[in-house]
Amino acid sequence: MLLTWAFFCCTLLPTTFHAETRTLTVNKKRSLYPAFVVIVFFLFVLLHQTDKLLIGSLQIPVSQTFGLNDLQWGFINTGALIVGTVFYPIWGYLYDRYARAKLLALASFIWGATTWLSSLVRTYPAFLATRSSTGIDDSSYPGLYSLIADYFGPKLRGRIYGLLQLAQPIGYLLGMILALLIAPVLEDKIFHLEGWRTIFLFTGLLGLVMAAVIFFGVKEVPRGQSEPEFEGMEEIGQFRFNWSALKDVMQKKTMWFIFLQGFAGVFPWNVITFFFFGYLMTERGYDNNSVLLTMGPVVLILAAGYFVGGALGDWLFKRTLKGRIIVSSMGVILGAIFLFLAMNTPVEEKTTFFILMCLTALFMPFSSPNVTSTVFDISLPEIRSSAQAVEYFIENSGAALAPTIAGAIAFSTQSKQFAITVVCITAWVLCFFIYLGALFFVDGDIKSLRAQLAQRAKSM
C-alpha cells in the first residue's frame, strides 16, 4: 500500500518543475489562501508532533509492557532519530526537484502507516524496528518551511515559523494529555489492547486524514516569489535545483556555525523529551496529575517562546542583519541558566521548581525560528529545502545519540537528574559560543544572497 501511494503521488508531481527557463505568472492580489496554508501546516505540525512526542510521555507503560531499562528505552528513541537523519538529505533533494505539497502528503501518509505498525507489534525488537521507521516522516519538514518561504517575505518569516513551531510544544502537551489521562482510561477497553496501543491507533489515523487534506488542499507556488527583489514583477523565472548552488551555500561561513550549533543544540531537546517525564515521576515523586499540572503550563509557555523568539528576531533583523543570531544566543544562555537552577532545586520546593522551569521554557525555543529563517536568508530559493535538510542531517547526526548517551549516564549513575543537567547545560553553553562566531559573518552572507537575487531580477 505504501509503494502504491508513493507511485500515485509521484505521477501527479508537476512536470513544470523540471523546466529551467519556463516562467510563471505571480498573482499579486491579496488572498486569504496563504493563511489557509498556514492553518493546514499548523495542524500538520501539531498532530504530527503529538504523535512523535507522545512516546516520551508513555515511557512508563511502554517500558512495563516490554520490560525495558533506561538504556533500552534510549535505543528506541535513538533508532527513530538515526532513520530521520538518513532521510533528511533524501527529502531535501526531492523537495527541491518536485512538488513540495504532494511530497508532504506522502510524508503524512507514512506517519500514519508507521504509527499503526508500532501499535500492533508484540516484542521489543519489533517495537524497536517500527518506532525507528517513524523517523522517515520526522525528517519531512524542510519542504514545509521552504514552501512557506515562498508565501511570505524575509521580514515576516520569523513570526510565521515561530507560529508553526509553536504547534510543536502544544503537540507535546496534547501527547501528555493522551498519555497520562486518556491512555489509562482506555486500558483493555478498546480492541482489548493496552491504552498506549489504542492511542497510537488514533494518532496514526490522524496522519492519514492530514495526508488527504494536504494532497487536495495545498497548492504549489513558484520558488522565490516572495523575495523583495521580485516585488512588482508580473513574471519570474522558474528556478531549478542545481548542485553548484547547494555547494556555494555550504561554503558560507554562517552555515558552518549553524551546523555546529545544530549538532549541539538538539541534544537538550531530545534528552528532555524522552527522559523528563520519567525524571519527574521517579526522582521527584510526581504522579500523573502532578506531572500534567506542572508541565501543562510549562509547555504552553514553551509554545509562546517560539512565537516570541521569532517576533523578536524579525524585529531586530529589521535593525541589524545580526538580529536573529543575537536573539538565538540570548535564548540558549538564559535557558541554560534557568534549567541549571531548576534541576538543583530541592524536591520539596515545588513552586520554585515550577517557576524556574517556566523561565527555562520561555527562552529554550528562541533559536528555532531564527535559525530556520537565517538558513533561508543566505540560501537561493531553489536549494532551500536541501540546505535546511543538510542542517537537520548534521543536527540529528549528533542528536540521534542523545537519548542513548543520557540513558547510559542515567543507568550508570542511577540519576536522571544528573544526566539531563549535564547534557543540556553543556550543549547550550557550546551553542552560545558558536553563535558568537556566527555574528562575524552573517551580515556578509545575507548581503551576498540579496545581490544574487537582485542580479536575477535585472536579467528578467
Q: Inform me whether the pLDDT recorded for 139 exceeds 70.
A: yes
Bridge partners (DSSP) of residue 23 are: 237
Q: Inform me whether the pLDDT recorded for 251 exceeds 70.
A: yes
Q: Inform me whether the pLDDT recorded for 366 exceeds 90.
A: yes
What distance in Å separates the CA atoms of residue 79 and residue 304, rounded to the nearest whole number? Answer: 30
pLDDT score of 290 = 85
In this prediction, residue 5 has a pLDDT band, given cuts at 50, 70 and 90, of: very low
Higher pLDDT, 422 or 458: 422
Whole-structure pTM value: 0.71
Decide if 6 is inside a domain. no
Decide if 315 is inside a domain. yes
pLDDT score of 460 = 64
pLDDT score of 434 = 95
In this prediction, residue 400 has a pLDDT band, given cuts at 50, 70 and 90, of: low
Decide if 12 is inside a domain. no
Q: Inform me whether the pLDDT recorded for 389 exceeds 90.
A: no
Which residue pairs from 225-231 have beta carbons closer than 8 angstroms and sit at least 24 positions apart in sequence? 225/26, 225/150, 226/149, 226/150, 226/151, 226/152, 226/153, 227/153, 227/154, 227/381, 227/453, 228/153, 228/154, 229/450, 229/453, 229/454, 229/456, 229/457, 230/26, 230/453, 230/457
Decide if 22 is inside a domain. no
Tens digit of each residue's pLDDT (9 = 90 or more) over 271-321:
887 778 778 888 888 887 888 788 888 888 988 898 899 999 999 999 999
Residue 82: which CATH number?
A: 1.20.1250.20
pLDDT score of 16 = 35
Which three-class secondary structure state does DSSP give residue 322? coil
Most confident of 14-28, 64-78, 313-327, 382-396: 313-327
Decide if 9 is inside a domain. no
Q: What average pLDDT does the segment 217-243 reach?
A: 72
What distance in Å separates the CA atoms of residue 308 and residue 301, rounded to the nearest whole number? Answer: 10
In this prediction, residue 390 has a pLDDT band, given cuts at 50, 70 and 90, of: confident
Q: Inform me whether the pLDDT recorded for 9 exceeds 60.
A: no
Q: In percent, how much of the chain has pLDDT > 90?
A: 31
What distance in Å separates the CA atoms of residue 415 and residue 401, rounded to the nearest whole number? Answer: 18
| Cα–Cα separations (whole angstroms), residue 375 to 250, 261, 368, 386, 407 | 10, 13, 11, 10, 32
Decide if 377 is inside a domain. yes
Q: What average pLDDT does the segment 255-259 reach?
A: 91
pLDDT score of 70 = 74
In this prediction, residue 244 has a pLDDT band, given cuts at 50, 70 and 90, of: confident
Average pLDDT of the chain is 83
pLDDT score of 169 = 81
Q: How many domains does the chain have?
A: 1
Q: Inform me whether the pLDDT recorded for 19 exceeds 50.
A: no
Tens digit of each residue's pLDDT (9 = 90 or more) over 49-108:
888 878 877 877 888 888 888 778 878 877 887 888 889 889 988 998 888 999 999 999
Decide if 84 is inside a domain. yes
Decide if 133 is inside a domain. yes
In this prediction, residue 29 has a pLDDT band, given cuts at 50, 70 and 90, of: very low
Q: What range does the domain containing 434 cover?
A: 31-233+241-459
C-beta separation of 238 from 16 below 8 A: yes
